[in-house]
Amino acid sequence: MSILYRLSDVHYSYRWNQQLISVLKNLNFEIQKGCFLCFVGPSGTGKTTLLNLLGLIDRPTRGEIFFEGQSTNSLSENVLENLRLKKIGFVFQSFHLIPTLTVLENTSYFLPHLGVDSALSKKQSLEVLDLLGLSDQAYKKPLELSGGQRQRVAIARAMAKQPDVILADEPTANLDQETAGKIIEAFKGLQRSRGTSFIFSTHDARLMSMAGTVHTLTSGELDPSKNPQETTP
Amino acid sequence: MNQILWLAWRNLFRNPRRTLASLLTVALGACGLLIYQGFNTGIMNQYRENTIHGYYGYGWVFPRGYYGKVQEKPWTSWMSSSSEVESQLKSIEGVREVFPRLRFYSFLIKGGITLGGKGEGINPLRESKFFNQMNFIEGHEIRDPNDIIIGRGLAESLGVKVGDLVTLMTQTIRGQLNGIDLNVAGVFHMGIKEIDDQFFRIPIQTAQQLLDTTSTELFSIDLDPKVSWASFQNHLDKIAPTLEGFSFNVLDKVYYQNSVDFLEAQFSFIRAIILLIIALGIFNTIAVGLLERAGEVGALRANGESRARLWKIMGIESILIGLLGGFLGVTIALAINKTLLAKGIPMPPGPGITRHYLILLEIESHHMVQSVILPMVATFLASLWPVRQLLKKSIPDLLRST
């Protein structure tokens, strides 16, 4: 398997009331393509910050992140935007869908931007919605859907771009067990069928149990006593 | 671009109440702008009509070098071949009628009262058809060579009424005293105080007889409104280089042109205030609306949406609100003009004017275009700062905003 990410001595800190707050420290690890990986740990240990760094929406204050073998430190904002558009899908706990667009329109949002024509865009989006069990909801607005359905639409939007990796920040946190289970199944299905890499931050034991690798973060560092835990989903 | 326009359009329906509030803010501004502009144009056109059809016509033609200079012996410059000049003037494209005039100073004597006044010899038959802003308080136009009509202020000072005899006493161009008894046919007011307080009019032949001359001092011109004064002047320069013309706004600079300049300056200031009110009114609504979208914008940017595209979408959104609000405002203004203000707005006399006015809103097509475009620009400008503030935030900050 080839390497998707390589983190080399990554630190992240910020200033607050003239104090330097260190969020992430000494991160040195690699993530393989096609992974199904979880970052776990108590709240405030830097899981979301780490996902932000992996999603190229923030930069480390020290160290270097390599994405598909390329150092991302010196890349311009435009290049990062382009990488995010083509290679990375991001899913958030709060969905962040566009309420004025239908499920189908939300799903296909980025496709015209990627040069996909409208017929293919619709076809591609409907396929993803079908995969996530949402094809019968395609013409509804997000506000007409349940929380679980909305989360699946957010995943569909990220998936429709056919990215190399999907990053999801606590994707099941707001969902009931049954819905969370369906979403995890959908992730696994996509990983198997398309080879998409999945990286999560989560507290969800079920998601952890399904993950191929679980990294535990403690006070911004990977806990050496627990990392990495290889599971057998 | 189509997708950007489509997304911007759909975003208008995100919060219909807020969009409606924004539309109404812009619409009321656009409506106010158009009504005020129509009102202003109505006033200016009233002034213009009053100036043209009250006294000046579209302009006057003098012997070259005569107007604006103090003349020791003005009659030496007067036009002796009046009928020839008249024919030349009438041959110019757009000239519909010419009105020969001869101005002079004279004493008016009634009983024991003697007052100085400014007299004008005119062609009453021609003038009465065109100069329809002259209002007769009593009596009528000049119908007889021995008739005189007198301005209201002058008539009151002399204490004359219709049917009285008034004696005019002046010098001929040769310096001899000459007098004539004339019958007061009418008392007029033109709405211009300076004229109403000093002027009287008699037939031009009677004036020429009184001054012992056959010359004409000037010709007032009735010009087809489609023909500009500049075009008339060009023709005049070619066919009669010894003459020169002055348009009514130059002749009546004190009342007409200054009033127009004053009203335009006032309108520009009020327009700026209206646009500022639109911008401030809509700024808060836009800022709140954008703040609520921070998380959504963060998620889109995290997935590769560019700042530039979001700028375009949000910019077009505000342009659409401005445009739709502008159209709505223009529609409301037109409806008000056809209903509530259909009978005009009664106005007191303006500076130097003695008459009341009824101002009708005069809404022209370019006013409507302006009333759509300017509020749209104001709305767009009002959105720039909140959009910039939103889009300059980092993606993690945007995502944390929710």
Each domain of chain B, given as residue ranges in start order, spans: 2-52+256-400, 65-241
Tokens (6 digits) for B354: 């003695």
Let me know: does B23 contact B321? Beta carbons within 8 Å.
Answer: yes
- For residue B57, the model assigns a pLDDT of 93
Q: How far apart are the first and last CA of chain A?
A: 18
Let me know: does B317 contact B293? Beta carbons within 8 Å.
Answer: no
- Count CB-CB contacts under 10 A for residue B389: 12
Distance CA B390, CA B291 (A): 7
Torsional sign, CA B193, B197, B201, B206: negative
Quick one: chain B helix, strand, coil %, rounded to 5? 55, 20, 25
Distance CA B402, CA B400 (A): 5
State how far the alpha carbon of B137 is from the alpha carbons of B123, B155, B299, in Å.
21, 11, 78
Distance from CA of B345 to the nearest CA of A (A): 46
Close Cβ partners of B20 (under 8 Å, ≥ 6 residues apart) = none
Tokens (6 digits) for A80: 């990062």
**DSSP secondary structure string, A102-134?**
-HHHHHTTTTGGGT--HHHHHHHHHHHHHHTT-
Q: Is residue A157 less than 8 Å (CB to CB) from chain B?
A: yes
Q: Which residue of A57, A100, A161 is in closest CB contact with B395?
A: A57
Buried b (16+ CB within 10 A) or exposed e, B190-201: bbbbbbbbbbbb
| Chain A interface, best mutation among B303, B307, B311, by max A CB count within 10 A | B303
Distance CA A169, CA B322 (A): 39
Q: Which residue of A49, A58, A92 is in closest CB contact with B299?
A: A92
Q: Flag if B295 and A94 touch (Cβ within 8 Å).
A: yes
Q: What is the CATH number of the domain that holds A121?
A: 3.40.50.300
Let me know: does B256 contact B248? Beta carbons within 8 Å.
Answer: yes
**DSSP secondary structure string, B310-328?**
HHHHHHHHHHHHHHHHHHH
pLDDT lower than 70: segments of chain B: 1, 191, 350-355, 402
Q: Is residue A82 less than 8 Å (CB to CB) from chain B?
A: yes
Closest-CA residue in chain B for A56?
B302
- For residue B107, the model assigns a pLDDT of 95
- For residue A231, the model assigns a pLDDT of 52
Query: B95-110 and B218-223: which strand pairing?
Result: antiparallel
Chain B residues near residue A88 by CB distance under 8 angstroms: 303-304
Torsional sign, CA A131, A136, A142, A148: negative
Q: Flag if A58 and B394 touch (Cβ within 8 Å).
A: yes
Closest-CA residue in chain A for B295?
A96
Chain B residues near residue A79 by CB distance under 8 angstroms: none
Identify which of B27, B2, B6 has the alpha carbon closest to the alpha carbon of residue B274. B27
**Structural domain tally of chain A?**
1
State how far the alpha carbon of B72 is from the alpha carbons of B41, B141, B173, B211, in Å.
41, 33, 11, 16
Residue numbers of the domain that contains A101 = 3-230
Residue in the block written with tokens 């749209």: B376
Tokens (6 digits) for A202: 């989560």
Q: Which residue of B304, B307, B394 is in closest CB contact with A110?
A: B304
Distance CA B371, CA B365 (A): 10
- For residue A1, the model assigns a pLDDT of 61
Let me know: does B42 contact B361? Beta carbons within 8 Å.
Answer: yes
Q: Flag if B303 and A85 touch (Cβ within 8 Å).
A: yes
Q: How far apart are the first and last CA of chain B?
A: 29
Distance CA A150, CA A91 (A): 11
Tokens (6 digits) for A19: 């104090």
Distance from CA of A74 to the nearest CA of B (A): 17
- For residue A232, the model assigns a pLDDT of 47
pLDDT lower than 70: segments of chain A: 1, 224-233
**Centroid of chain to Cα A91:** 5
Identify which of A116, A200, A120 has the alpha carbon closest to the alpha carbon of residue A155. A200
